[in-house]
Structure 1
């Protein structure tokens, strides 16, 4: 009786450097059960290829013409949910790692990764469960990601406090926040005082910066109060 056939992992390569794609293709073709079914040199091509070919994995560079990496990942995962996107880049940046994993990437690997680890990462991505990711970055990046997660766990704002903070990030005054949330201005001031205490902040700007660092709000949202002098709790 013959052994059952090993399923072939179908891969698309998305990188604007032809030599990089050629090297990856040659490397992957040496691994049993892998085949490269398409190549893209722009973000738009990557989305079109993934949508048309429905590969198991897309190996995606982050610096290509067209939509940014986050938007490419978003479009691919929306169009072909079963296709796993592995980011392969030179950028050892914890903020980028976090953003792209949260957008839907199945993994983030540096281009300095050894051949065996790349092949293992592709196999892991194909059989991964929804709660796991493949991560091959520097120790410093891992440590910074751990610090960010620790800060998030340490700061617990209520749903109402988050609503207030997000409106403050839109440069609304206390009176405008109160009107938007159908509460009194005194209640808004009380929420801000609680927010400042939990974040160990001394002003609106300080609170927004610390909330952004803890990933409670988007950094630099609308550009409003970020460049304005902070005012102490309870003031205007």
Structure 2
């Protein structure tokens, strides 16, 4: 495996420099771009197509949640980890709904950061126990019932499970021996049937309905 290409987005230069100093001597990571605000993060993500994006929540011009939304809109397969000091439930849930595959606190150890990046790069999720507890609380809230007319087909349910497990369209296509175009068509149909806007919201539905489980 080659180096994991990273985009660091944080308005504090000291934070970016600290992360770069940590990644520099390793053989696993390469910082390919930096951003000091949300708009710059969206632009750099589009220009460099990094493997994993480390995104701060509180930034000028555009906050991390809106930046994540825009990045995922341009590239649904983008892999984003929110790294912040906030444990506010509303921000955690908003980040997940924006498509973040991981959520780290800035007091995380270097090993925790390294492991989270590798997990997200592999298509898995990376949420520490404090964040998982917030997610479980959200999942336990009453949900709107899905009407029988929007019941998913067996194939759609199968693809939803793979989405919830963090797989990209290409990875799903490879596993199911389908074309990427066919997978995209299924994903669009799934989002439409569930009345959700993105893959992360579909994942929350899959978790709530017991189709997949949090590790």
User: Structure 1-normalised TM-score?
Assistant: 0.58
Q: Does 1:24 align with 2:19?
A: yes
2:104 to 109, 116, 119: 109
1:87 to 82, 94, 117: 82
Question: Is the Cα–Cα contact under 8 Å of residues 25 and 36 in structure 1 kept in the other structure?
Answer: yes
Partner of 1:44: 39
Give 1:1-236 correspondences, 5 Å limit: 6-128=1-123, 132-136=124-128, 138=130, 141-152=131-142, 157=145
Change (3 A) 1:82 1:7: farther
Q: Deviations over 1:52-97 (max 9, x none)?
A: 0111011000110012222111111122333311100000122211
CA distance in 2, matches of 1:107, 1:52: 22
Q: Name structure 2 gaps, 5 residues minimum.
A: 148-203, 205-215
Change (3 A) 1:143 1:106: closer
Rg comparison, structure with higher value: 1
Q: Deviations over 1:143-191 (max 9, x none)?
A: 3432332222xx55576xxxxxxxxxxxxxxxxxxxxxxxxxxxxxxxx
Question: Is the Cα–Cα contact under 8 Å of residues 57 and 84 in structure 1 kept in the other structure?
Answer: yes
> What SS does the corresponding residue of 2:59 show, helix, strand or coil?
coil
Question: Is the Cα–Cα contact under 8 Å of residues 107 and 133 in structure 1 kept in the other structure?
Answer: yes
CA distance in 2, matches of 1:17, 1:64: 9
Change (3 A) 1:156 1:64: closer
> What SS does the corresponding residue of 1:59 show, helix, strand or coil?
strand
Partner of 2:155: none
CA distance in 2, matches of 1:84, 1:144: 21
Superposed CA RMSD in Å reads 2.3
User: Structure 2-normalised TM-score?
Assistant: 0.63
